[in-house]
Structure 1
Amino acid sequence: MKKATTIRKKLYVFLSILFPILITQLGLYSMNFLDTTMSGHVNPNDLAGVAIGSSLWVPVYTGLSGILLAVTPIVAQLIGANKKNEVPNIVIQGIYIGIVISILVIIIGYFTLDPILNNMGLDYPVQKIAKGYLIALSFGIFPLFFYAVIRCFVDALSFTKVTMFITLTSLPINFLLNYLFIFGKWGVPQLGGVGAGVASALTYWCIALIAIIIVIKQVPFKNFNLFSTFYKISFQIWFDLLKIGVPIGLAIFFETSIFAAVTLFMSQYNTITIASHQAAMNFASFLYMLPLSISMALTIVVGQEVGARQYNAARQYSRIGITMALLLSIISATFIYLFRHEVASIYTTDSRVLSLTKDFLIYAIFFQLSDAIAAPIQGTLRGYKDVNVTFFMALVSYWVIGLPLGYILAQYTELSAFGYWVGLIAGLAAGAIGLAVRLRMIQNNTPLTSD
C-alpha cells in the first residue's frame, strides 16, 4: 500500500483499495442474487425453497468464513511491520483450518439437515427444493473456504483488483450454469431451485482454480512461494488465527443468523409472504455490500498503519470510511424509496408477491443508516485486532434486543410479519451505537504519531 501524507492522498489510496473490493463483493453476492431471482421466475415454490436454503447456509458460511478473515489483519500488520517472510506460513495454516471447517460442515449437515427442515412446517415442495439446493451447494464448500483464505492474503497486500478480476471472470460462468441447470437448457435437465445450488458449487471450483493459478504465476504473489514449501500444522499459529478469527466469525454469525432466524420464523406465514420477505431481504443485503466493502477496505488500511505504528493515519482512514458509508447510505435509502416497484419486479411477476415485496422494502430503508455506521467500525476494529467486544455487542444487540423485540411485535401487534423487520432495525441501531463507543475508546488509548 502506498503511504499517503495528506487526507486527499489517503482518500485516493482508500478508494483504490475500496473500489475493487466493492466490485468483488457485489459480484460474489450476485451469485446468490442470481440464484434467487432466476429461481423465482420458475415458480414461487422454487423461490421460497432457495430462500429457506439460503437462510440456513448464509449464516453458516459467513460465520465460518469470518474465522478465516483473521488472515487479513494478521498479514496486513506483518506487511506494515516489514515481516513478509512470516506471511506464507500464516496463509497455509489458514488453508488447513479451512479444510477442517469444510469437513465439519459436511459432517454436521449430514446429520442435522433433515431434522431442521422437518421441524419448519414447510410445504413439501418447498422443503424438497431447499434440501436439494443445500445438498448441491455442499459440493462447493471446500473450494469456497479455500478461496476465502487466498482472497484474504491477496487483499491484505492491497491488490484488491486481483480478487475483483477473479470474481468478474466467474460471474458469467455462474450465470450460464444457472441458466442451464435451473431452466434445463441445451439438453441439461431442468432442476429449478436445486439447479441454482449445482451452478454455485461448480462456480466455486472455478474461482478456486483461477486463484491458484494467479498466486503461483503472478507477481508479487509468486514471490511468497505459498505452495513451494511444505508447512507442518502449527497449533500455535492456529491459536493466533482462531483467537482473532473466532470472535470475528461469531460476531458475523450472530448478525447474519438473526436474519436467517427471521426467515425461519416467517415459515409460519404463507408462501407468498416468505417469497416477498426473501426478495426484499435479498435486495437489502445486496445494498449492504457497500458498507461491507468499506469495512473490508478499512481492515486492510488500518491494519497496515497500525502494524507500522502510524496511529494517526489509522484514525484518519477510519473517519474517511465512516463518512463515505454514511453518504452512500443516504443515496441507497433514497433509491429504495423511489424505485421500490422496479426493484420488486426484478424478483417476480406474481402480483401478490410484487405488492408485498414493495411493503417490505419500505422497512429496508431503515437498515441503511445503522449499517453505514456499524460495518465500517467493525472493519476498523479488526484492523486494530480488537474483536472480542465486537462479538459480545453483536450477541446482545441482535439476539437479546433485536430478535425478542421482533417476535413480540410480530406475534402480539398488528404489524404481523413486519414486526420482525422492526426488531431487526432496533438491533442494528443498538449494535451501531455500541461499536461507535468502542472505537472511540480504542482510538483514545492509542498514541498520536506524525506521518
Structure 2
Amino acid sequence: MSVLPPSESPVSRASLALRLADVRAIVVLAWPVLVGQLAIIAFGVIDTAMVGRYSAESLASLGLGASIYISVFVALTGILVALSPIAGNLYGAGRVAEIGEQTRQAIWLAVALSVIGAVLLTFPAPLLDVAKADAALRADATRYLRILAVGLPAALLFRIFNSLSTAIGKPRIVMTLQIVSLAVKIPANYALIFGFAGLAPMGGIGCALASTLINGIDACAALWIMARGSAFQPLQIFSRFSWPQWPHQRALLKLGIPMGVSYLIEVTSYTFMALFIARFGTATLAAHQIAGNMGAVLYMTPLSIGIGTATLVAQRIGADRLEAARRLSGSGILLASIVGLFYAGAVLLLRGQIAAAYTSDAHVAATAAGLLMIVAAYHVFDAFQVSTAFVLRSYQVTVIPTAIYAIALWGVGLGGGYWMGFDLGGHLPHVWTGANGFWIANTLSLGMAGIGLGLYRRHVVRRFKGNRQA
C-alpha cells in the first residue's frame, strides 16, 4: 500500500486549495483598490515629475509642503477609516441597514476634523520652523498648504465613501472615480504649472490648485452615488437626517483615534525625515522626494492587499467564521510579503533609470539612485508590516499596534535617523550619514514594527477565538 508524502496528502491539498481560494478572493478586492490607489499616488508622481521639470527649487518646496499636508491628511483620514471595519462587521453579520447610521455619524465626524485640519494647514509656521528652510521655500510651501486647506473637507468626505465602498465589497466604484480624476489631473497640472492659454506659470502652487478642484468634484460625485447608487440603496444613508450621537461618535473615536495616531506616527516619521533632510540642501531634498515618491508607489500594492484582506477578515468575523478569518489573514500577509520581495528586486535593478525618469539634474538623479538602493530593503519590511496592521484593524484592535509604531518608527526610525543622519557620534562612515542615515534607520524601524505586529497578531487571533468560544 502506497502512502502519499505530506506535500501530496489530501489534507495538504485541501489546505492549499483553501489558501488559493483566499488569494483569489483577496485579489478580486485588492486589484480595484490597487488601481485606484495607483491613480491617486500618480497625483504625487505627476506633481513631482512635472514640477521637477519646472525647477529644482519648486520641487523642493513641493516636497516640503506635501510632507506636511500628508501628515495632517493621513492622521485625519486614519480616524475616519474606523468606519471600514465597523461597516465590514455589520455587512458580514447581515445588519446592512445599520451601516447607514454609522455613515451619517462618520460624515459629522469628518466635518469636525476638517476644521482642525484646515487650521493646521493654514498656519503651518511651527512645522516649517523645524525644516529651517529659507524664506522663499517657506513662502511657497505656505501658499501650497493654504490652497490644499480649502479642499480638505471634500477630501475627507471622499475618504468616507472610499472606506464604505470597500467595506461592502464595491471598490470598483471608487476605482472608476479615481481613474477619471487622474485623467483630469494631468492636463490641469500642465496648464497650472507651466501656464497655458493666458494662465501664468505657477510651479508647485499649480499642483495644489488642481488637486483642490478635483477633490471638490470627487466629493460631489461621492454624495450622488451614496444617495442614488443601487449598491448603496440598502444602506439607507440619506433616508433620514441624524444629528451627531455620542454613542456612535464614541465608538468611531475609540477605534479611530488609535488608528489615526498610528497613521500619524507612520507618516510623521517620514515627514520629519523630510524636514531634517531639508537641512542638507535643495538637491538632497529633491533626491529624497524622488526616493519617497517611489517608495509610496511601491507601497500601494501591499496596502491594497492589506485593505482587501482586512475587508474579508472583518466580514468573516461579523459572520462568526473565525477560522476562515484567521486563514485569510495569514494568506493576505504572505501574498503582500512575496509581492514586496519582487518589487524590491526590480528597484535594485532599475534604480538608475527610475531616478533619471524623475529629473534631468544629474546630481539629483545620482543621489536619488543611491537612496533607491535603501528603498528596496525598506519596502520588503513595509509590505509585511502594513498588511499585518490592516489585519489587526479588522479585529478592531488598535491600541497596542499604535504603541508598537511609536516605539519603532519614532524611536528607532526618527530618533535613530537623526543620530545617523547628522552623525551625532562622530564615527559613522560617510555613506551611513546624511539622507542615507535617515533611510537606513527607517528601514530598521519597519523591520522592528513588522516583528512586533506579527507576534501580536498571533496573540490576538488566539484570544479572539477563546473569547468567542467562551
TM-score (norm: length of structure 2): 0.92
The one-letter code sitting in structure 2 at the alignment partner of 1:423 is A
1:422 equivalent in structure 2: 440
Alignment of 1:398-437 (within 5 A): 398-412=409-423, 413=428, 414=430, 415-417=432-434, 418-437=436-455
2:265 equivalent in structure 1: 254
The count of aligned residue pairs is: 445
1:9 equivalent in structure 2: 21
Q: 2:115 aligns with which of 97, 103, 108?
A: 103
2:323 equivalent in structure 1: 312
Asked if residue 390 in structure 1 is aligned to residue 401 in structure 2, the reply is yes
Distance in 1 between residues matched to 2:255 and 2:127, nearest whole Å: 30
1:321 equivalent in structure 2: 332
Distance in 1 between residues matched to 2:232 and 2:422, nearest whole Å: 54
Asked if residue 441 in structure 1 is aligned to residue 455 in structure 2, the reply is no
Distance in 2 between residues matched to 1:212 and 1:326, nearest whole Å: 36
Distance in 2 between residues matched to 1:32 and 1:407, nearest whole Å: 26
The one-letter code sitting in structure 1 at the alignment partner of 2:447 is A
User: Does the CA-based 8 Å contact 1:297-1:379 persist in structure 2?
Assistant: no
1:83 equivalent in structure 2: 95
Distance in 2 between residues matched to 1:95 and 1:200, nearest whole Å: 21
Distance in 1 between residues matched to 2:55 and 2:287, nearest whole Å: 13
Asked if residue 133 in structure 1 is aligned to residue 144 in structure 2, the reply is yes
Alignment of 1:318-357 (within 5 A): 318-357=329-368
User: Does the CA-based 8 Å contact 2:71-2:267 persist in structure 1?
Assistant: yes
1:51 equivalent in structure 2: 63
1:20 equivalent in structure 2: 32
Please give the secondary structure, in 1, of the residue aligned with 2:131: coil
Distance in 1 between residues matched to 2:140 and 2:99, nearest whole Å: 43
**Residue 431 of structure 1: how far off its partner (Å):** 0.3
**Residue 218 of structure 1: how far off its partner (Å):** 1.9
1:40 equivalent in structure 2: 52
User: Does the CA-based 8 Å contact 1:53-1:131 persist in structure 2?
Assistant: yes
User: Does the CA-based 8 Å contact 1:72-1:299 persist in structure 2?
Assistant: no
User: Does the CA-based 8 Å contact 2:62-2:204 persist in structure 1?
Assistant: yes
1:65 equivalent in structure 2: 77
Please give the secondary structure, in 2, of the residue aligned with 1:187: coil
**Residue 224 of structure 1: how far off its partner (Å):** 2.2
Alignment of 1:111-122 (within 5 A): 112-118=123-129, 120-122=131-133
Please give the secondary structure, in 1, of the residue aligned with 2:325: helix
Q: 1:194 aligns with which of 205, 210, 215?
A: 205
Distance in 2 between residues matched to 1:326 and 1:355, nearest whole Å: 29
- Structure 2 unaligned blocks of 5 or more: 1-16
Distance in 2 between residues matched to 1:294 and 1:21, nearest whole Å: 8
**Residue 118 of structure 1: how far off its partner (Å):** 4.6
Q: 2:163 aligns with which of 152, 156, 159?
A: 152
Distance in 2 between residues matched to 1:140 and 1:212, nearest whole Å: 16
Distance in 1 between residues matched to 2:386 and 2:148, nearest whole Å: 28
Distance in 2 between residues matched to 1:154 and 1:211, nearest whole Å: 10
RMSD: 1.6
What do the CA deviations read for 1:354-412 (whole angstroms, capped 9, x no partner)?
A: 11110111110111221121111111111110111111111111112221211111222
**Residue 267 of structure 1: how far off its partner (Å):** 1.7
Distance in 2 between residues matched to 1:444 and 1:226, nearest whole Å: 36
Which structure would you say has the larger Rg? 2
**Residue 119 of structure 1: how far off its partner (Å):** 5.2
Please give the secondary structure, in 2, of the residue aligned with 1:372: helix
- Structure 1 unaligned blocks of 5 or more: none
User: Does the CA-based 8 Å contact 2:98-2:235 persist in structure 1?
Assistant: no
What do the CA deviations read for 1:57-106 (whole angstroms, capped 9, x no partner)?
A: 11111111000000000000011111112111100110110111011112
Asked if residue 203 in structure 1 is aligned to residue 214 in structure 2, the reply is yes
What do the CA deviations read for 1:204-236 (whole angstroms, capped 9, x no partner)?
A: 111112212222222121232312310121011
The one-letter code sitting in structure 1 at the alignment partner of 2:93 is A
